[in-house]
Structure 1
Amino acid sequence: MSFTAPGGKGPTMQGKVGGKAWRMEVGRPSRNYIMGEELRARAELGITEDMAAMVISRPLKDALEKKAYSMITDTLQTTADPNLPEEMRWLAMYDEVGWDSLPPEFWKRYAILSDKREHALAWMDGNFAELLMAWPDPAPTAEVPFIVALMRGKCYLRMEYLPPENSTMEHAAKIFTAACEGALNGFPPG
C-alpha cells in the first residue's frame, strides 16, 4: 500500500488486494450529500457481475429515503430526476437485510442492502464488520456519509472525508481492502 499527495492534488493511496489493484483518493465531492472533500476508492475485482450489495451509514440511508419520498410526493415534479445518485436508486431496488451475528450497535450505525440476503452474508465477514465499528480517534461520527458497495464486479467506497486526517484515510483503506477480500473470497470470478 502506498500513500502519496502528488502535485497539488489531494492525498491518494493505492495497493493490491488478491492481486487486484485498487486506488483511493481525496477530491471534490461527486454527490450532493457530501460536504467538503470526498474520500473515494475503487477496485475492479473481476467477480461475478450478477450480484449487488451495499453497506450504507444509517443516517445517510434515512436522509436519502426522505429525499426520495419528498421528490415522489412533490406535486410539481412529474418525472424522476435522471441525475439521482445511484445510491437512491438502490434504496428502491434492493431490500435491507440483516442477521443476528452482528451486534445491535452495528445495525444502529449501518444498513446493508442487497439483491439477495445470501450475497450480503457471503461478503460481510467478521473482520469487515469489526473494522466498520473500530474507527480510530478522532473518529468519523455515525452522521458522516459513508457507503461501500459491490456492483458490476467492482468494489467502491465513498465517504465524506471527515475528520480530514491521515488516520481516517488509512482506516477507510483497511475497510475497503477488507470489503474487497470478502468479495474475492465470497464470489466466483466473472
Structure 2
Amino acid sequence: MADGWLDTGDLGRRDEDGFLYLTGRAKDLIIRGGHNIDPRLVEDALLSHPAVTGAQAVGQPDRRAGEVPVAYVTLSDATVGEGDLLAWAARHVSERAAAPKAVRVLDALPLTAVGKPYRLPLRADATRRVLAEVLAGLDGVEELTAEAASGTVTVTVTLRDRAAAAEVERRVGDFAVPCRIVTRQGTDG
C-alpha cells in the first residue's frame, strides 16, 4: 500500500462523473519497444470479424522490439484463414503498432477455473514457436519446451550433448526469456 492506495495490477479509467471502469490487467500488457499495447485493442478488432467467436492477444518475444502482438482465435467458419484474419486486423486495429504479427486458430481458448481468459499458456506457445524458429537447424537440439508457471514462461532446451550449448545460449540470449539448457547428463545452465 502506498499513500493509501492498494496496487492490484488492474488498469482502468475514470469518466467525467467520477465512475471507475476496469479495462484490464497490467501483467497482460504487450510491451513493444517501450510502447504499452492493451491486448483488448487486438481482441476487439478481431472479434468484429463475423467468423471470429473468441480472441486473446499476447506478447511474443522479439529480439528488436522486446515483444510483438500475436493473437489466438476461435472461428465459426473454418474456411477463414490466418492470412484473412491478419489483413482484417491490420485494417481494424486502431494502433498500427498493435496489429498482430500472427493470428493462430485454435479449437478453444484457454480459460481459468472461473471462466476468465487465461493468456499464460498462449504466451508459452508464442515463446516456444519463436524460439523453435531461432533454433531450427541447430545440430544437437533434441527438444524445446516452454512452460508457464507463476506468471512466467520458462524455456527448456534439451541437447544431445554440450556441443551446441554456447550457440543455444547466444541465440536465446537475444530474447528476454528465462532458459534452462539440459543435456542427457542433466541440467547445465
TM-score (norm. length: structure 2): 0.30
Q: Which has the larger radius of gyration?
A: 2
Q: Which has the higher strand share?
A: 2
Greater RCO, 1 or 2 (C-alpha within 8 Å, sep 6+): 1
Q: Which has the higher helix share?
A: 1
